[in-house]
Amino acid sequence: MSRRYITTAIPYVNSKPHLGFAMELVQADVIARHWRQRGHQVRFLTGTDDNSLKNALAAEAEGIPTRELVDRNAQTFHDLRGPLMLSFDDFIRTSADPRHQVGVDRLWKATEESGDLYRKHYEGLYCIGCEQFYAEDELRDGLCPEHHTRPQLVSEENWFFKLSRYEDQLRDLIESGRLRVEPASRRNEVLGFIRTGLQDFSISRSVERARGWGIPVPGDDDQVIYVWWDALGNYITALDYGTDGPHYRDWWVNSEDRTHVIGKGIVRFHAVYWPAMLLSAGVSLPSTIFVHDYLTVDGKKLGKSLGNAIDPTAIIDEYGADALRWWLLRDVPRVGDADFTTDRLIGRYHEDLANGLGNLINRTVSMIHKYRDGRVPDVVEPWRANKLTAAIDQAPGAIDSALERFDFRQATAALWQIVDEANRYVVEVEPWTLAKAEKAGDEVAGRRLSDTLGLLLQTCRVAANELTPFLPDAAARAIAQVSPLAERLPQPEPLFPRIET
């Protein structure tokens, strides 16, 4: 039994969450639940990044105080918990949690004491959407390549962090795998970036430019801390790093695994800046950074700033959380962007959930009612079940190794080996034929009927159990369906009703 810590990125709260962030939350949730199921102690953190200038500007645009906008929108992120069936243990808000500010202060001072902070005049083109500076030639027609907006010319004196100092260490850490970046293509991308040479970066803004919003630089009232600097800190400030609390020691310093789940757009912050900050502060590093790609919807890019964001709760309201979680896990490849359409969502739901597992459980429970009055038969000797038992034996290990690689699609496929094999098994053994023979006085057939029905029920239990990290709610319903009450199974009821269109 070991302690493991997993986090998502914390999104800006300038608007409501979209489907892409729902995917990240679900992915992290599956890993967290899987770890718990395999007996580890787990802490799962998510939260919101409140201190962004874009939040302040969004509030200005709405004509409300920043605090009000941030509180309101942060709530919508937190509210995903129920609909998406998330199991996070903690939710941090960088503007509202005292532990965050205390932790950021400590982190700042620790890097200062290492001699890694200095003041410098800087002039550059800053994109508020990205919260980062761009070189002129990185722009497309003078516009930010991500947001297609004109960056503003900023000229002021800021604090800088000596990132350049950590170039060799970072390269060694990533090359050696002590800091694991998955998938490998992302790791190579990061190494490529490091090899071109690391430059110190600005880690503060003037209070005026920040609209007075953000965390003050310790000992410098004219500056607030660069939003990325404080945001990255959330992974440890949430653990009371600031007060050196027990959570920090348990879940960061002494944990076996510290995994960050992030999207491809913020790899550099997590695989370069963040580890360097930690090295400077004398704090241990994360062990793994898993990078997912993006979602498109109906073939189009998805983005809050691009105006076609899709609300995950709307999908859940219409098709259910099982359908959405399942699509995100079962249909999204590990590498490459995936396109979301409602047709694909419904297709996956029907094929796998309704026709596959749902039908398997339904037919199994129905037969036990029909032939055994709802009483669960003992399995004396499994009959013609080699393939089925092999599938049952192999699935958990296959799921483990797939999730070790963050390959959700392969993990769910491994689980479905059981379901598919069980549906074949039903046709193979023809319980209805055995039932007729039994009725005609064939005791051997009767014995075999009990064995096969008992085995099928056991199979359903295994499948339901392994399904828990992926679809916790459906798995619980499935387990209830195959668990006797007063010696009898509940009446069969479709677990996954078909979606009428």
Burial of 137 (0-12, 13-18, 19+ CB in 10 A): exposed
- Nearest alpha-carbon partner for 220 in 206, 237, 209, 241: 206
* 296, two tokens: 């498109």
- Per CB under 7 A, contacts with RNA among 472-491 are none
How far apart are CB 378 and RNA at their closest, in Å? Answer: 20
Which of 149, 188, 394, 491 forms a contact with RNA (CB under 7 A)? 188
How far apart are CB 435 and RNA at their closest, in Å? Answer: 7
* 335, two tokens: 């590498």
- Per CB under 7 A, contacts with RNA among 276-335 are 331, 333-335
The reply on whether position 442 binds RNA by CB under 7 A is: no
| Contact string 346-385 vs RNA (x = CB under 7 A) | -x---x--xxx-xx-xxx--xx--x---------------
Distance of alpha carbon 33 from alpha carbon 52, whole angstroms: 31
Half-sphere exposure at residue 104, Cβ-oriented, CA atoms within 13 angstroms: 27
Among 78-86, 92-100, 275-283, 336-344, which window interacts with RNA (CB under 7 A)? 336-344
Of 117 and 354, the one with the shorter C-beta distance to RNA is: 354
Of 7 and 452, the one with the shorter C-beta distance to RNA is: 452
Which of 193, 209, 253, 490 forms a contact with RNA (CB under 7 A)? 193
The reply on whether position 496 binds RNA by CB under 7 A is: yes
The reply on whether position 264 binds RNA by CB under 7 A is: yes
**CA dihedral of 372, 374, 378, 383, whole degrees rounded to 10:** 60
* 487, two tokens: 């010696």
Count CB-CB contacts under 10 A for residue 318: 12
Distance of alpha carbon 479 from alpha carbon 448, whole angstroms: 24
Backbone angles phi, psi at 293, to 5 degrees: -90, -170
Distance of alpha carbon 394 from alpha carbon 391, whole angstroms: 5
- Per CB under 7 A, contacts with RNA among 22-81 are none
Of 150 and 498, the one with the shorter C-beta distance to RNA is: 498
Count CB-CB contacts under 10 A for residue 142: 9
Q: Binding-site residue total for RNA (CB under 7 A)?
A: 50
Q: Computed over its alpha carbons, how large is the radius of gyration of the chain?
A: 26
- Per CB under 7 A, contacts with RNA among 124-143 are 135, 137-138
| Contact string 143-172 vs RNA (x = CB under 7 A) | --x---------------------------
Which of 218, 245, 265, 382 forms a contact with RNA (CB under 7 A)? 265
- Per CB under 7 A, contacts with RNA among 382-411 are 409
Of 63 and 197, the one with the shorter C-beta distance to RNA is: 197
Q: Burial code of 284-315, b = ≥16 C-beta within 10 A, e = fewer? A: ebbbbbbbbbbbbbeeeebbbbeeebeebbeb
Of 242 and 275, the one with the shorter C-beta distance to RNA is: 275
Do the bridges between strand 180-182 and strand 132-134 make them parallel or antiparallel, or are there none, so unpaired?
unpaired
- Does residue 85 sit in helix, strand or coil? coil
Of 277 and 295, the one with the shorter C-beta distance to RNA is: 295
Q: Which residues bind RNA (CB under 7 A)?
A: 135, 137-138, 145, 185, 188-189, 192-193, 196, 264-265, 268, 331, 333-339, 347, 351, 354-356, 358-359, 361-363, 366-367, 370, 409, 420, 423-424, 426-427, 430-433, 492, 494-498
